[in-house]
Every structure is written in C-alpha cells, then in structure tokens.
Amino acid sequence: MDKIVVRGGRRLRGAVQISGSKNAALPIMAAALLGDNPSRLTNVPRVTDITTMADILTSLGARVDRPSPHEVVIDPGGLGNSTAPYELVRRMRASICVLGPLLGALGRARISLPGGCAIGNRPIDLHLKGMKQLGAAVNLSHGFVVADGKRMRGTDVFLGGRFGSSVLATANVLMAAVKTKGVTRIEGAACEPEVVDVAQFLRKMGARIEGMGSPSLVVEGVKSLRGTAYELIPDRIEAGTYMIAAAITGGNLALKGCRADHLRAVIETLEEAGVCIHGGARMIRVSGGGRRRVVDVTTHPYPGFPTDLQAQLMALMTISPGISVITEKVFAERFMHVPELNRMAACISLEGSSAIVKGVRALSGAPVMASDLRASAALILAGLVARGETVVDRVYHIDRGYEDIVGKLRNVGAEIERAG
C-alpha cells in the first residue's frame, strides 16, 4: 500500500495549477445520462473518484471515453441497466447521485447504499425524501435503494435537514425534476458553487431552471435534453488546501485557474490568521510570511467556511500562537484527524462538536494514518512544517480528490514523495 513521505522545513514558492472540481464533476457526469446524445466535459480532474463514476456509468450501459487526461465524453445511448452495483457504489458516497438521473431517464433505479469517507453518519435520507415528494415509490431492500419514478410529477420539495442543506441531495432532486412533467419548486436547496455548476450544465442541455445559487429553485420539466460541451468550475477545496499550504510554510504561492468569488469565507478567515492574499479573475496569490494569528471558526454550508477545509485549517492553527476553537456544524464527528495531529506533537482537545487547539512552537514528524480525504491533506500540510519525517499511510484517500498532490507540492519546493 502506498504511503506519502514528507520532510518538513521548506517554504513553498511558485505556482500551482488548480484542477477542476471533483464535487461538481461527479453529479455532472451522472447528469449526462439525461441527454439524448453525448456530452463532452472538460477541466475534469484526474482523481480516482472520477474513474469510479465512469465505471458506474459504464455498468449502467453508457459509454465513457477519456480522449485526453482532463476530458470525459459520456454517451448515454446504451443506457438500459438501472442497477448500480455494490462493488462500485461502496467506493464513494457520491455514487448516490445516479439515482435522480436514472429516475429521469429510465423511470426506475436500484442503487446500492453508498460508501465513502468514514467521517461520521452521512445519511441519504434527504435524497429519498426528495424523490418521494416528487412522487417516486422508494423502498430499501437487501442493501439497495429501489425506486420507481413512473408517477413522478412536479411539486413542492423541501430539502432542509438537521445539519442544513445537502449538496448531493439538491443535485439529485434537481436531476430527477428536469424531465418530470410539471413545475417543481425546491426549497432549502444547497447554494454551493458545485450545485450551480450542475444547474448550469443542465440548462445548457435544455433544462428550464431558475433561482440558481439561491435556496429556492424552480424547475419546469421538459420532455428531452440534448448532450452538450461543458467546462467544469475549478476546485475551491483544492485551492483552499494550497492556500493553507502557503500559509503554514510561510511560503508564497500563485494559484492559477481558481475563482476568488468561490472562496470568500476562506480568504477572510486566512486574512484574519495573518495571511496576505491578493485575488484576480483567475488567480490568487497567497503569502504566508506574516505573523500568524489564531482564529475561531465554525463550519457552515456555503457561503460559510467549508467543512472540507476544517482539517487543513486545524493543521495551520496547531502552530499558530494562542488558542483557537474550531467548531464543526456540518459533520459533527469529523475529527478523526485530531489524534493523528496530536501524534505529531500538536495540542488539540475535543469538547463535543468543537476542537480546542493550543498552538505549539513546532510539530514533530511521525508515522500517521489518514482516515478520510481531507484528513489526508491536513496531515500532509502538517508534515510540510514538522521537524523530521512524516509518513502518511492509507493515502488512497488523497487520490480520491487531489490530482497529483505530490507532484504539485514538489514543483513548488516541498520535499515529498510516494513510497510503496
């Protein structure tokens, strides 16, 4: 099993090209099943989750080609199988996003209950609730979600949940609604840029959607959609991770191909932490050479501070003088990286849904184990400044969502390598 070895102490300098958004790519790939002809997606990241989604679409009868490393062509012409099997779906939770397109395209779906990162309870109840409100008959049988959408009609759907809105549930219901007869009003919709990207793709296919970027979406069903060409938005979580990499090493990085307007909460938080940030139309320059300051942060759905950057920010706070409080409001159990950071001489204690971080003078390299995708990134960031060598195990997590993180970091001065 591969490991990533990091030797700390180098300031990062140079430029990093930000890849396309994984969290937009996955539902958009699924949405391509709704077209009458092929769709061509560009700026697609080279990560294993994309490969998994391609395998799922292929198992359903679609044809998926990759004519170039960052391009995917999806031909739904052979779509006929409505069962997404356990051996594929178990690899990632986002597999559930084929539910809506299958109901829209075939009127039926049989999806294995999904897997993914082990970051606490991540139910799919909002997905099922939304489909039921549209009129689908939904049952759980032998580990599968079995849905019949032949009686779906446009209606009012409310997607507010215990922990706020859901990005994937919003995308799923949206994809189910675009070919459902009548008008569907989705309240409590997620406002994340990734949801907007899905809606923009569907509109380019011919869907009628209003209210994008707001918690209220209005969808007028159409009979058919056409395949189209579409460029994905950049990955704001990858961009935020490299922003924190510059900050934690006291380095200076230019992040190319990203969007500052998708990162306002992150930029504001890092500026409060003493990081100097200048944003342009398609580039952000980050300088971490100033005096570090602690910040208190609570994660929220967009436009709040993203849960997917909570672990990375915590790594920065471990070496910032003072005491910071990081509160997790999206996934309350998303603190599995805390004991691993403490193995590196961090001083973090947990109190309910909050982590109390007391900054230390220096971290110490150690063997650590990644528990999920974003925890992997946090441990690598900590290793960039730790004294000595840090070995991160179970790095298949990082491959799910970061394109060539070792190569990108090495190109800007990090001493990092993969080892078998």
How confident is the model at residue 338, as a pLDDT?
A: 97
Give pLDDT, residue 115.
56
Q: Is 117 among the residues known to form the active site?
A: yes
Q: Are strands 297-298 and 323-327 parallel, antiparallel or unpaired?
A: parallel
What is the reported pTM? 0.96
**Active-site hit among 117, 258, 276, 347:** 117
In DSSP terms, which residues pair with 208 in a beta bridge? 220
- Residue for token pair 């979580």: 237
Give φ, ψ of 167 to 5 degrees: -65, -55
Spatial separation of the C-alpha atoms in residues 375 and 352, rounded to whole Å: 19
Q: Which sequence spans correspond to the domains of the chain?
A: 3-16+235-419, 24-223
pLDDT for 91 equals 87
Q: How far is CA 160 from CA 120, 138, 169, 253, in A?
A: 19, 19, 10, 38
- Topology of the domain comprising 24-223: UDP-n-acetylglucosamine1-carboxyvinyl-transferase; Chain (3.65.10)
Cα gap 42→55, rounded to integer Å:
18
**What one-letter code names the amino acid at 188?**
G
Q: Taking the chain (420 residues) in consecutive chunks of 10 residues, what is each chunk's mean pLDDT?
A: 94 98 98 98 98 97 98 98 93 92 98 63 81 96 94 96 85 98 97 98 98 98 98 98 98 97 97 94 92 96 96 98 96 90 98 97 97 95 98 94 98 95
One fold for 3-16+235-419 and 24-223: yes
User: Could you name the CATH architecture of 3-16+235-419?
Assistant: Alpha-beta prism (3.65)
Neighbours of 75 (CB within 10 A): 19
pLDDT at residue 234, as a whole number: 98
Whole-number Å distance between alpha carbons of 79 and 58? 9
Give the pLDDT of residue 260: 96
